[in-house]
Structure 1
Amino acid sequence: MFDATETDTKAREAPPARTIETDICILGAGSGGLSVAAGAAQMGVRVVLIEGAEMGGDCLNHGCVPSKALIAAAHHAHAMETGAPYGVAPVPAQVDYARAKDHVARAIATIAPHDSQERFEGLGVTVIRAWGRFVSEREVRAGDALIRARRFVIATGSRPFMPPIAGLDTVPVHTNETVFALRERPEHLIVVGGGPIGMEMAQAHRRLGSRVTVIEGARALGRDDPEAAALVLEALREEGVDIREGAAVERVSGVEGAITVKAGGEEVTGTHLLVAAGRRVDVAGLGLESAGVRHDRAGVKVDAALRTSNRRVYAIGDAAGQGQFTHLAGYHAGVILRAMLFGLPAKAKGAHIPRATYTDPELAQVGATEAEARKRHGARLEVVRAEFAQNDRAVAEGRTAGFVKVMVVGGRPVGATIVGAQAGEQIALWSLAIANRMKMSAISHAVLPYPTRMEASKRAAGAYFTPRLFENRTVKRVVGFVQRFLP
């Protein structure tokens, strides 16, 4: 990330105390930047890694890791109150919110050494803890150093987007960068934004004992399959989360502990406000003009090989404007390493990149949704599905809500939607299939352990062949003919 301050500006204007010549200079020590640094350094390449904030980036410190740790704590609280169908007497959960946050901190601390400055310096990487800025097409200034490199990688991530809402700058506001530092449970949390981050935090806090209101200007989980999203929203509402859709926020007012949000002509007052209205790529302070790197509001402009308008400079992850996922940044790192280390042609693709919302039930998607596939493929599209209500593992666990839906064109999957328990784990099969252009027959031929939820995906693949086999008269006649001559 980049944070230009007056002090930083003055430091950049002073003559550099040292000049470093290197092969690869990486701006940003998040998931993508660390992957490039580790891969290149272990191949003997000279690497400089620049990071002005925390090693590990947003995912480790403010995103994926702390959110999933908090969701885990919330799951245990919820389980104490929902055991009746299993013969376990429900009891009110006694939640110590501060200790739940201790669990979050432990999760971060356990993973942090893998992303630490010490580890990467041990790999031979030169780590500079300062903000970096291009000063020419092949030079970056960071702290007291001027770095000249053969190749540069912009891996600066993104930041929470603060929408232009009247009064938002006058009240205490939390984003994912600050909410995990709270030690006292919010009595009533208002969440502005009904996307994945907003819905995950809404359910987690509700299960930990907070009242929660979610305000979304359009449709909650609006990017996802409407049928799948509806199942998630229904579950959250049943748990007591107040979700208000189609309610654009007009203004915010109040003081700490009593914040009022006016939206859709109504007002709601809570103790804490969390803005989860998306993220924005911030490259304004990187000096991209000096490097001849084109960019716009979506991020750095790149080609299929993730190269910018300056052939020495690549952009990956959020900065490349193609999606904001940790695993996408890691994938991008692998793409450019092929080019930078081995000189091999490599292009980034997006069809096999999955995404998941870790609510309960989870919602996962890879490739095209049904609506997107219908628009793209028309009458060639076939949609097959399997319900978890017909999956033996789901029945045994008493968690049958959800389904697997697969979009198929010419015998190959082009998209898959899974909603239900462990959907984020199960979507991996369909990402593998799409990435390798596998046919539906490859999925149907797989032998899976019984009972597992993954069998639902195999059942969906089988549903593709059902009309072709069991409802096909020609096939039946062939089978009948063969039976007449078999001994």
Structure 2
Amino acid sequence: MPLIYLVPNEEAQLKNTRKWLLVGILVALVVAFFLSGANDAFTLESIKAQQAQFQLWWQESPWTVAGGFLLIYVVMAALSLPGAALLTLLAGALFGFWTGLVLVSFASTIGATLATILARTLLRDSLEKRFSQQLKRINAGVKREGAFYLFTLRLIPIFPFFVINLVMGLTRMRLRTFYWVSQLGMLPGTAVFVNAGRELGGLSSLSGILSPGLLVSFVLIGVFPWLARALVGLLKRRRLARQYDRPATFDRDIVVIGAGSAGLVASYIAAAVRARVTLVERGRMGGDCLNTGCVPSKALIRAAKSVKEIQQASRFGVEAGEPRVDFARVMGHVQTAIRDVEPHDSPERYRSLGVDVVEGEARLMSPWRVRIGDQELTTRHVIIASGARPRVPDLPGINDIAVLTSDNLWQLDALPRRLVVLGGGPIGCELGQSFARLGSTVSLVEMGSQLLPREDSDVAEWVLKGLGDDGVQVQLSTRALRVVAGGGSDGHLLEVEVVEDGEARMMSIEFDELLVAIGRQANVEGLGLEELGVGTRDNGTLDVDGALQSVLPNVWACGDVVGPFQLTHASAHQAWHATVNALFGEFKRFSVNYRALPAVTFSDPEVARVGLNETEALQQGVTYEVTRYELSELDRAIADGNAHGVIKVLTVPGKDRILGATIVGTGAGEMLAEFTLAMTRGIGLNKLLGTIHPYPTYSESVKATAGVWKNAHKPERLLGYLARYFAWRRGGN
């Protein structure tokens, strides 16, 4: 018999054919179920009407009847058909408690496993190709603690079981593990429902509804999720207690490690609700935002902007001459800004709010014990807010020079004559442009094909032009290879590889100072987390769930140490969730929602965004329509000489619901607030259009953008009728 070899494309085609055939069979079975009226037969009334006949069948052939019920239940669960809960009740009504419990326990687990196999066969491969990174993280979590997580989902029926079956089918969990965990986890809930069905099956009149047994069954169904959740929490605590010595009493409700924006907000909230909280900081209060990030960088940007304003004053008929920059005084202005903001984040202020502020290195000795120097505190919860630090690449020769980062930049006392900025993200663009305006010769090296890689390409082009106008030499598609200390005529060299039109060429850039701005890495070392089993993700941030809880149920994390957005306001947003979940999670837990999280790049022009942009919408498969408004049309921008930039709003096709907004231009960060409020509160473009805005202001651009959307969606047919109506009123034809 000849062998038939299939080329890869033919194999894939055959595989797809089999999948579609299976889909067709499944759809046919589901359609047949509903068209046949079988769903109407699975009611308590119909079963009770045939109860006498059923009892006779049950007595004559118990194995056949039980097997038939088990088969029907398995098929319904495997196909995710509605009615599993009702079938569980019917099992109690028809078979009694113990027989019904055994039948449903095995039938539901077998059906769930088959549903998982179907999902795995039909969907997993294609979804893994499309969402490989997301599923990779999920599978890592499943591998580490998937059985306990599945057990929790089964025990607490918050999500429908058929959803859990389908989702778990997309993971790499072993089917054997899925089966036994599902059977064990569903058993308590199954027992409650079967017992309720047994009581219902015994009703002979309406007065029986008030029977104690039936009332207890209904109460158990209502409170079971709460009891199960408490049981899961108890199991987690006991599992921890077996590993570590849990204190009988605690010194603190919360110990917060790190006094940056996340740690400050977390300790403030805890103290505000009268919890006893200790805030530990090994460096300066205020963290990166106050000392090396937001505050100093914006002070520097403002000083650099004044140079540009003086240079452009002649546009308005004002002659000021060429500005002279005293860099030492510029840095003095930066330090003054830090000192003026510092009291807001000082130990004295937080102590006055009821926070116990301690200076020192903190280390977790157990989930409930934190050592700070010679002191050891017991605490019910720990919040890790240790922040992040600049990432420095492992380039050959880079250790031979003093590298600048956003941490140590502020100690400069002389303006660099030639500055190379490594990285074209927000920090690189902001600082590179500022130093160019102050007088440095700046070269910006970016490995990607555009600046600001998270933004749309047209948005990045605006920033590229802005940097170019200020003299920044931007090198895109350029990879740094090595640093040669002293390799230049009177400085250092950065050797790079530039890719243009598919061709790679080598070049060298001379510099006096190298500013590295390629991203930040989380501060997770030295805290004792690794020894306690608290892992990290692939990017080095702490691995927490949507509620910011780590694998240890009393250890939480927020801010830059977690990501994914290393922004001050994102850290504060997370800190609220981490603190509230830690203190009150037994009653209500909140997952962090980043849907309306704004972000601003303070370049010139500014780039401000909230929600999705076009790039992300395409990556996520979200359908959208885009409305554009050019700021060259805005009266205030024209009067100020800032008539450049654009507003892009993404909406649901045909509707005014906002999916995201991006603004490029002067004051973009301030204009963004209205779109952020609209997304947060579910306000559409129609209501923004109906809001009165003062004239002439930049905020009018928001209303104008809504007007562009409205004009594109005007009811043409109705307007046609109105035109005819007005013509009739004028007495025309």
Displacement after TM superposition at 1:20 (Å): 7.5
Q: Is the 8 A contact 1:306 1:316 kept in 2?
A: yes
Q: Is the 8 A contact 2:386 2:561 kept in 1?
A: yes
- Equivalence for 1:237: 468
User: Are 1:476 and 2:707 matched, yes or no?
Assistant: no
User: Are 1:179 and 2:401 matched, yes or no?
Assistant: no
- Equivalence for 2:553: 311
Of residues 55, 61, 68, the one that matches 2:298 is 68
Q: Is the 8 A contact 2:250 2:380 kept in 1?
A: no
- Equivalence for 2:170: none
- Equivalence for 2:661: 416
Normalised to the residue count of structure 1, the TM-score between the two structures is 0.92
Of residues 244, 248, 251, the one that matches 2:479 is 248
- Equivalence for 2:28: none
- What SS class does the counterpart of residue 544 from structure 2 fall into? coil
- Equivalence for 2:493: 260
- Equivalence for 1:16: none
Q: Distance in 2 between matches of 1:445 and 1:308?
A: 45
After superposition, residues 390-409 of structure 1 pair within 5 angstroms as 390-409=633-652
Q: Is the 8 A contact 1:225 1:417 kept in 2?
A: no
- Equivalence for 1:388: 631
Supply the AA of the counterpart residue of 1:201: L
- By percentage of residues, which structure has more helix? 2
- By percentage of residues, which structure has more strand? 1
Displacement after TM superposition at 1:484 (Å): 6.6
Q: Is the 8 A contact 2:557 2:578 kept in 1?
A: no
- What SS class does the counterpart of residue 191 from structure 1 fall into? strand
Q: Distance in 2 between matches of 1:165 and 1:145?
A: 41
Give CA deviations for 1:186-216 in whole Å, capped at 9, x if unaligned.
1111111111111111111111111111111
Q: Which stretch of structure 1 is more off in the superposition, 245-254 or 281-290?
A: 281-290
Supply the AA of the counterpart residue of 1:337: T
- What SS class does the counterpart of residue 660 from structure 2 fall into? strand
Q: Which stretch of structure 1 is more off in the superposition, 453-462 or 179-188?
A: 453-462
Q: Distance in 2 between matches of 1:32 and 1:479?
A: 59
Q: Is the 8 A contact 1:353 1:367 kept in 2?
A: yes
Task: Calculate percent identity across the aligned residue pairs.
Answer: 37
After superposition, residues 313-328 of structure 1 pair within 5 angstroms as 313-328=555-570
Q: Is the 8 A contact 1:59 1:326 kept in 2?
A: yes
Q: Which stretch of structure 1 is more off in the superposition, 276-285 or 472-481?
A: 472-481
Displacement after TM superposition at 1:479 (Å): 6.9
Give CA deviations for 1:201-237 in whole Å, capped at 9, x if unaligned.
1111111111111111112222211111111111111
- Structure scoring higher RCO (CA < 8 A, sep ≥ 6) equals 1
Structure 1 alignment gaps of length 5 or more: 1-18
- Equivalence for 2:598: 354
- What SS class does the counterpart of residue 588 from structure 2 fall into? coil
Q: CA distance change for structure 1 residues 484 and 211 in 2, over 3 Å: closer, same or farther?
A: same
Q: Distance in 2 between matches of 1:121 and 1:187?
A: 45
User: Are 1:108 and 2:343 matched, yes or no?
Assistant: no
Give CA deviations for 1:11-70 in whole Å, capped at 9, x if unaligned.
xxxxxxxx9810010010000110111121122110011111111000100000000000
Displacement after TM superposition at 1:377 (Å): 4.6
- What SS class does the counterpart of residue 296 from structure 1 fall into? coil
Q: Is the 8 A contact 1:62 1:177 kept in 2?
A: yes
Divergent runs of 4+, >4 A: 478-486
Of residues 266, 270, 295, the one that matches 2:511 is 270
User: Are 1:122 and 2:352 matched, yes or no?
Assistant: yes
Q: CA distance change for structure 1 residues 20 and 98 in 2, over 3 Å: closer, same or farther?
A: farther
Give CA deviations for 1:280-336 in whole Å, capped at 9, x if unaligned.
112122211343423234311121211111111111111123210000011112223
Q: Is the 8 A contact 2:299 2:334 kept in 1?
A: yes
Q: CA distance change for structure 1 residues 44 and 315 in 2, over 3 Å: closer, same or farther?
A: same
Q: Is the 8 A contact 1:391 1:453 kept in 2?
A: yes
* Count of aligned pairs between the two proteins: 466
Q: Distance in 1 between matches of 2:474 and 2:672?
A: 27
RMSD across aligned C-alpha pairs, in angstroms?
Answer: 2.0
Displacement after TM superposition at 1:163 (Å): 1.2
- Equivalence for 1:10: none
After superposition, residues 420-439 of structure 1 pair within 5 angstroms as 420-439=665-684
Displacement after TM superposition at 1:475 (Å): 4.0
Q: Distance in 1 between matches of 2:725 and 2:386?
A: 66
Q: Is the 8 A contact 1:213 1:241 kept in 2?
A: yes
Q: CA distance change for structure 1 residues 483 and 340 in 2, over 3 Å: closer, same or farther?
A: farther
Q: Is the 8 A contact 1:251 1:262 kept in 2?
A: yes
Q: Distance in 2 between matches of 1:255 and 1:54?
A: 35
Q: Distance in 2 between matches of 1:344 and 1:110?
A: 39
Q: Distance in 2 between matches of 1:262 and 1:20?
A: 57
Q: Which stretch of structure 1 is more off in the superposition, 62-71 or 346-355?
A: 346-355
Q: Is the 8 A contact 2:480 2:494 kept in 1?
A: yes
